[in-house]
């Protein structure tokens, strides 16, 4: 939690000297802090128009700097004001290391707008830089030295360079492969959201799966079990400092924790026994920041949870070395939500991300394959943790119901990842499937079909790895062009090169519930929604079925 104060002094001397100005700046700072995941403990705004002191060095205003050239480096939460820039373009905020975005401008009558464009401050001392760009926006490159820039072949969007002015423009539209509550769940070109139907079969696939069948006394059918739901939070939920037993490098991190008794948590909101797993996933729909915890809330421990992992929906960053306090909340060291099958996947008509499954402790090797980084299993001669299994194309899925076909087609195109020790061949599904009887019937249909290990193959996805510390797919692999990937390469006069990896943010609509039940004869109800990735917050509603709905919901 962060105390926030706002003063008017020399740092804003070029701005109109009106009583409301400090409040305008305050709202914009608040907006930036919300976007970057901070929570406000206390906030006040003080006006002292007679002051001539430069408050830029005072701790309460330290994030704000003034100048005519955007700094190359920045830390999350900093603000930069350019008094020579036009209104609407004179205020930038740092939303990630060395990543500036245009927050708009400060005038006497302005309010904090949604982010329309962004600026990446690039340094050639780093081999890679990153940026997040909204669809319908643009990205300006501000590098620490003159360079020639190139858009990597196959990238979505276009790039122009005129002297030192480099602008990347994303495609006009992009559909997110995986989204929840209006938030992107990993970029489209992450390994989780990339199709693997064209990848070669791993050379060890046949022997691995034969050994699994030998251990289990024959091929075992897959099942789809409802494991846990996802909590949708907002900025009103105060974050709390965490202490972890395993992921100790995150001790002290501030997590938003869904409150009892209505939270969604594996094996129940209130259970505290140590004999069952208690995974919990939450998302703040306002910031699109995700929180995952394991064994949170169990009494009698000196820690708040056994492990935790938090991340932005646009991030490619892996969870860190589990042998040095890194890792996540599952045995593979992977994030959980990107691999969780949820109701909206089925409702969209196409699953466009991998799923996660568990197996017995002897059915998984004490080894891992990227993107996994660890394993708590101890099997030998069996698939490692992180191995990606694909339902064979030869399996005829035409006899299944349309909704069951969506699941099976997803297994053929995107596959499933060995992610944890548990029930054998159990694909983990969000509990929101309980809201739709037809969706639940599709789960039962697939689970009861007897599709087993012999109908799968383990693929070799090593060619997709760009870096062992990133989930981003190598766009220059020989098998698949990642959907919606964008990369810029720069070469300076001294021969130094760098790469800007761009995560594209689609326009997404979020709702608090995937399904709602209304009783006939009751009054009207205002439907709730929010829009991410654009200034336009208008949502038009329509209805397929009895009753009526107005365009504004």
Give me the mean pLDDT over the 287-291 stretch: 95
- By mean pLDDT, which of 55-64, 113-122, 175-184 is the weakest? 55-64
Q: What is the DSSP letter of 274?
A: S
User: Cα–chain-centroid distance for residue 247?
Assistant: 19
Query: Which pLDDT tens digit goes with each residue over 412-439?
Result: 999 999 999 999 999 999 999 988 999 9
Segment 200-206 shows an average pLDDT of 98
pLDDT of residue 171 exceeding 50: yes
Q: Assign 269 a pLDDT band (cuts: 50, 70, 90).
A: confident
* Ordered DSSP codes for 319-373: ---GGGT---SSTT---SGGG-B-HHHHHHT---S-EEEEE-TTSSEEEE-TT--
Asked whether 345 and 443 are in contact (CB, 8 A), the reply is no
Q: What is the pLDDT of residue 194?
A: 98
- 190 is written with which tokens? 């992450």
Q: Which residues contact 172 (CB under 8 A, 6 or more apart)?
A: 135, 136
pLDDT of residue 57: 45
Q: State pLDDT tens for residues 238-266.
A: 999 999 999 999 999 999 999 888 889 88
**Which of 95, 193, 134 has the alpha carbon at shortest distance from 504?**
134
Distances (CA, A) of 481 to 85, 182, 184, 509: 39, 25, 20, 26
> Residue 128 pLDDT > 90, yes or no?
no
Q: Please tell me the distance from the alpha carbon of residue 222 to that of residue 464, in angstroms, as a whole number.
A: 26
- Mean per-residue pLDDT, 66-85: 77
**Which tokens in the block code for residue 483?**
């959907």
The pLDDT of residue 247:
95
Residue 20 above 50 pLDDT?
no
Cα(444)–Cα(535) distance, rounded to whole angstroms? 41
In SS3 terms, 155-210 reads as CCCEEEEECCEEEEECCCCCCCCCEECCEECCCCCEHHHCCCCCCCECCCHHHHHH
Residue 222 above 90 pLDDT?
yes
* pLDDT greater than 90 at residue 45: no
Q: Which of 177-181, 196-200, 316-320 has the lowest mean pLDDT?
A: 316-320
Q: Is the per-residue pLDDT at 115 higher than 80?
A: no
Of the chain, the end-to-end C-alpha distance in Å amounts to: 35
DSSP 8-state symbol, 393: T
Return the pLDDT at 27. Answer: 43
């Amino acid at each position: 939690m962060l105390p926030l104060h706002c003063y008017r002094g020399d740092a804003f001397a070029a701005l109109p000297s009106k009583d409301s100005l400090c409040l305008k700046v305050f709202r914009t700072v608040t907006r930036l802090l919300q976007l970057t995941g901070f929570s406000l403990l206390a906030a006040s705004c003080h006006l002292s128009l007679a002051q001539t002191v430069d408050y830029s060095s005072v701790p309460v205003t330290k994030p704000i700097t003034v100048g005519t050239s955007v700094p190359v480096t920045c830390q999350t939460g900093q603000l930069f004001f350019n008094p020579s820039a036009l209104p609407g373009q004179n205020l930038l905020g740092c939303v990630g290391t060395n990543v500036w975005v245009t927050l708009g401008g400060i005038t006497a009558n302005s309010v904090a707008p949604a982010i329309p464009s962004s600026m990446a401050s690039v340094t050639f001392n780093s081999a890679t830089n990153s940026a997040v760009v909204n669809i319908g926006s643009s990205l300006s490159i501000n590098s620490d030295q003159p360079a020639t820039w190139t858009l990597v072949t196959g990238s979505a969007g276009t790039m122009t360079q005129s002297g030192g002015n480099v602008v990347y423009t994303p495609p006009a539209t992009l559909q997110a492969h995986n989204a929840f509550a209006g938030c992107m769940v990993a970029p489209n070109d992450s390994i989780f959201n990339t199709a693997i139907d064209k990848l070669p079969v791993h050379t060890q696939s046949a022997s691995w799966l034969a050994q699994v069948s030998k251990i289990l006394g024959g091929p075992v059918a897959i099942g789809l079990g409802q494991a846990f739901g996802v909590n949708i939070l907002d900025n009103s939920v105060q974050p709390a400092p965490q202490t972890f037993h395993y992921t100790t490098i995150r001790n002290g991190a501030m997590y938003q924790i869904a409150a009892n008794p209505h939270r969604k948590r594996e094996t129940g909101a209130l259970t505290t026994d140590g004999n069952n797993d208690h995974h919990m996933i939450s998302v703040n729909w306002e910031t699109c920041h995700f929180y995952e915890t394991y064994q949170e809330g169990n009494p009698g421990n000196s820690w708040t949870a056994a492990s935790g992992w938090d991340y932005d929906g646009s991030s490619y960053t892996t969870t860190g070395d589990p042998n040095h306090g890194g890792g996540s909340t599952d045995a593979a060291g992977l994030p959980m939500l990107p691999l969780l099958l949820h109701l909206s996947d089925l409702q969209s008509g196409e699953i466009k991300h991998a799923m996660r499954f568990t197996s017995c402790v002897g059915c998984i090797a004490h080894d891992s394959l990227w993107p996994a980084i660890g394993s708590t299993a101890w099997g030998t001669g069996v698939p490692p943790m992180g191995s990606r299994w694909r339902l064979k194309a030869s399996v005829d899925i035409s006899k299944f119901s349309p909704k069951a076909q969506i699941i099976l087609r997803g297994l053929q195109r995107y596959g499933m990842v060995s992610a944890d020790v548990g029930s054998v061949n159990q694909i983990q599904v969000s509990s929101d499937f309980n809201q739709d009887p037809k969706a639940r019937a599709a789960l039962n249909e697939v689970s009861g079909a007897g599709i087993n290990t012999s109908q799968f193959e383990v693929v070799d996805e090593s060619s997709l790895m760009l870096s062992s510390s990133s989930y981003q797919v190598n766009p220059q692999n020989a098998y698949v062009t990642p959907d919606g990937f964008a990369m810029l390469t720069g070469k300076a006069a001294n021969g130094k090169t760098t790469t800007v990896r761009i995560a594209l943010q689609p326009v997404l609509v979020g709702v608090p519930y995937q399904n709602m039940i209304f009783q006939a004869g009751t009054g009207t109800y205002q439907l709730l929604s929010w829009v991410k990735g654009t200034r336009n917050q208008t949502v038009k509603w329509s209805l397929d079925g009895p009753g009526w709905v107005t365009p504004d919901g």
